[in-house]
Structure 1
Amino acid sequence: MWAALAVAIVGPLAVAATSPLLEWRGPVYISAGFAGIIAMACLLLQPLLAGGALPGLALRQSRIVHRIVGAGLFLAIVWHVGALWITSPPDVVDALLFRSPTPFSAWGVIAMWAAFAAAALAALRKRIRLRPMTWRRLHASLAALCVGGSAVHAVLIDGTMGTVSKWMLCALSVAATIKLIVDLRIWSPRARRDA
């Protein structure tokens, strides 16, 4: 499983690193693209870590790494958007205000805010005093919106990641998220009684 995960993550990075589209881009723009790929890789890891699905990691260890990768995801998104802002502020403003002519921009912004909300919910978990199942459902819903929005965002972009590797990473991220939600029975009536 670790080997398959390495291929799923390193593949898109390797394809992007050898893309001829990089020849006409500056270093800040290139770093924005790679930050986006790293963010997608984090989105694949997150449900696997939350569900304790990675071999060799106990559930408690897996959840600790889940929090660390979540912080990495947050930083990757900030880097992605910040570097794009440096290269073209008007495009980022248009995207944030949902007036960009490119459909992928809106999906990226939706995914970004869902990721930030999920991170805030995790950071404030002890302070907001939600019931455990209520918190889990909110966090899972925001995470699912982030993964789905990010996948659509990435798929709609004709960029450096390559079609096959991009679809593979996005499909695996969505599948892992769905599997986690089903396995943990987050929306089942039984889960509601156990909360």
Structure 2
Amino acid sequence: MGMVAALLIWTGLVLATLLPLTFAATSEYLAWRDPIYITAGLAGVVALCLLLVQPLLARGWLPGLRLPQGRVVHRIVGVFLVAAVVIHVGGLWITSPPDIIDALLLRSPTPFSIWGVIAMWALFAAALLSLLGRRLSPRSWRLGHTSLVSIVVLGSAIHAILIEGTMDTTSKAVLCGLTVTATVAAVARSWLRARSRASGKE
């Protein structure tokens, strides 16, 4: 890959993540909010941005971070992703415990809360599966991990799109669209490679 192409890829990634963060951080919705709420909200935006990075790292699609370096960074970013979600949910719990309890019990009247909780539990399950990876067969691990992360990305995208809040509508839609597209491409690539290997052994 040429330097121009690599520069374009990194520039696109920075813009796709930095613009939503900038718009959210400067949103008028935060003008009268307390620091805990602001931190929780921005942590959610950070988590969404990290979701875009993860499939690119896992497949080695970022210039300068080819396999296996990309997968090492993928695991590190995964830790930050879980931490961002914990901060997001924990901050909202502090500011409004009843709303979080209703969301966790899947009885919230707002659909975006339900999707957010589904994505959260799928993320925690994917993180746990990563820790148990060596105890599972490669096929079982791959199937479980890709299924869970697909739920995480879909749930997170719907969660973000349904919320009318700090995130700019256009940049949010672009970020969610890119994240879903990257994840679908990564999962499809993994599935095709696994199928190719299986065919080669027959």
Under a length normalisation based on structure 1, what TM-score does the superposition of the two structures give?
0.95
Partner of 1:11: 19
Determine the C-alpha separation between the residues in 2 that align with 1:50 and 1:194. Answer: 23
- The one-letter code matched in structure 2 to 1:74 is V
Alpha-carbon displacement from aligned partner over 1:83-117 (angstroms, at most 9, x marks no partner):
00000000000000011110000000000000000
Partner of 1:47: 55
Say whether 1:166 aligns with 2:172: yes
Structure 1 residue runs without a partner (length 5+): none
Given that 1:133 and 1:191 are in contact with CA atoms closer than 8 Å, whether structure 2 keeps it comes out as no
Partner of 2:190: 184
Alpha-carbon displacement from aligned partner over 1:55-90 (angstroms, at most 9, x marks no partner):
011211100000000000000000000000000000
Note the 1:29-178 alignment, pairs <5 A: 29-126=37-134, 129-178=135-184
Shift in Å, 1:134: 1.5
Determine the C-alpha separation between the residues in 2 that align with 1:72 and 1:7. Answer: 20
Identity %: 56
Runs of 4+ in structure 1 over 6 Å off: none
What do you get for the CA RMSD once the two structures are aligned? 1.6
**How many residue pairs end up in the alignment?**
193
Partner of 1:23: 31
Counterparts in 2 of 1:164 and 1:155: CA distance versus 1, 3 Å: same
Structure 2 residue runs without a partner (length 5+): 1-8
Shift in Å, 1:23: 0.9
Counterparts in 2 of 1:186 and 1:102: CA distance versus 1, 3 Å: farther
Given that 1:137 and 1:187 are in contact with CA atoms closer than 8 Å, whether structure 2 keeps it comes out as no
Determine the C-alpha separation between the residues in 2 that align with 1:16 and 1:67. Answer: 26
Given that 1:115 and 1:146 are in contact with CA atoms closer than 8 Å, whether structure 2 keeps it comes out as yes
Alpha-carbon displacement from aligned partner over 1:111-153 (angstroms, at most 9, x marks no partner):
0000000000001112xx2210210111011001000000000
**Secondary structure in structure 2 of the residue aligned to 1:33:** helix
Counterparts in 2 of 1:194 and 1:117: CA distance versus 1, 3 Å: farther
Given that 1:133 and 1:192 are in contact with CA atoms closer than 8 Å, whether structure 2 keeps it comes out as no
Given that 1:107 and 1:152 are in contact with CA atoms closer than 8 Å, whether structure 2 keeps it comes out as yes
Given that 1:11 and 1:165 are in contact with CA atoms closer than 8 Å, whether structure 2 keeps it comes out as yes
